[in-house]
A = this chain, B = another copy of it.
Amino acid sequence: MGDDPGLIDAPLLRALRGEPVEYIPVWFMRQAGRSLPEYRAVRERATLLEITHSPELAAEVTLQPVRRHGVDAAILFSDIVTPLEAIGVDVDIRPGVGPVIATPVRTSRDLRRLRPFEPAADAPWLAEAVRLACSELSVPLIGFAGGPFTLASYLVEGGPSKTQARAKALMLADPATWRMLLDRLADIALASLTAQVQAGAQAVQVFDSWIGSLSARHYTAHVLPVVRRLFDGLAALGVPRIYFGLGTGHLLEAIGSAGPDAVGLDWRVPLDEGRLRLPPEVALQGNLDPVACLAPRPVLEAEVADVLAQAPGRGYVFNLGHGVPPETDPGSLTHVVELVHAHRTRREGLAP
């Protein structure tokens, strides 16, 4: 699974494995979505959840940025709460707000609502969307899942939160229930990513966006063991496994010890510092400040050059430090792809 011989040497996969590449591969978090007029045209006839439930629409939206920008990877169009919705959690994705959970999970009793996710039965559209997209792609497709802390924060808070205070309070007050909650969410992510890889995804990314709100001590005690178990489980799939979180400068050593093949950095930590603080065998991905996409071309070019100047010579994938801002001119993203592809990698003089 996940080893289509035609793509196994694609730049994205070579870079994630730390092998030399002819040019630096690039893709963008949230590349499929609101910045594209062709996406907004689809959204005029379907909600976000309707798109994820339709293999044709999900595949179409997944392919759009690859066609337009020439990026080196597709990423399945999805939302981190999609598997929760598929097992019956009453979640709604509200435009301009994010996922809203009508009945939050706050006690061990509430965990009953989080039964195991069986993709073939619960979400047949998931694998079908991956199959459809892969049949049209000439670059690898990255499987998509939410990380356990981030999913837990939505479930406990009942929606987006600036501080994750309720989730963290549960973590401190009732660590046993917290651990069961995270274990179930890791199992759900593992099931979802397994289905995506079996359907053709050739890499996976775990989006654990909100872990940066935890101290290293709390992350290490209450989250890391579950993330490590998740990455151990994903290892059996035989594809590169990327881990991403926002504002993780104080967590890099812990994150590196969770076992990912690559770590996505946001723009706060320079790539050269990330390179020193993560294990040498872990590839890096990132980390242009998304706001640079809103700047005039000369500024955008200088910001891209700055990221590239700090990038390691091997084991590196260009990306933004977070998702594409909705108001981005798509032409700016295409230009970034051109700039990154034109950049000559330094094959000597730097550790991988």
Contacts and interface: CB of A to CB of B under 8 A. Distances in A.
A212 B247 contact: yes
A159 B215 CA distance: 28
A347 interface: no
Interface string A305-332: 0100000000000000010010100000
A46 interface: no
A295 B172 contact: yes
Contact of A173 (B268, B299, B325): B299
A163 B290 contact: yes
A40 interface: no
A214 to B, nearest CB: 8
A108 to B, nearest CB: 16
Question: What copy number does this chain have within its complex?
Answer: 2
B270 A163 contact: no
A5 interface: no
A204 interface: no
A68 interface: no
A291 interface: yes
A165 interface: yes
A206 B296 CA distance: 32
A17 interface: no
A165 B291 contact: yes
A249 interface: yes
Nearest to A171: B291
Interface in A160-180: 162-165, 168-169, 172-173
A218 interface: yes
Contact of A306 (B169, B217, B290): B217
Nearest to A273: B250
Contacts of A23: none
Contact of A291 (B172, B289, B294): B172
Contacts of A294: 165, 169, 172-173
A216 interface: yes
Contact of A163 (B218, B291, B292): B291
B249 A215 contact: no
A172 B325 contact: no
A194 B290 CA distance: 38
A39 interface: no
Nearest to A166: B294
Output the residue of A269, A289, A325, A327 with the most chain B CB within 10 A. Answer: A289
A335 to B, nearest CB: 15
Instruction: Please give me the 8 A-B residue pairs with the lowest Cβ-Cβ distance, nearest first.
Output: A168-B291, A169-B294, A249-B250, A172-B295, A250-B268, A172-B299, A249-B249, A165-B291
7 contacts: A163-B291, A169-B294, A169-B295, A172-B292, A173-B296, A215-B270, A215-B289
Interface of A: 162-165, 168-169, 172-173, 212, 214-218, 247, 249-250, 267-270, 289-292, 294-296, 299, 303, 306, 322, 325, 327
Given A168-B289, A173-B299, A215-B270, 17 more contacts: A163-B290, A164-B291, A165-B291, A169-B291, A172-B291, A172-B294, A172-B295, A172-B299, A173-B294, A212-B247, A214-B268, A215-B267, A216-B270, A217-B270, A218-B289, A247-B247, A249-B249
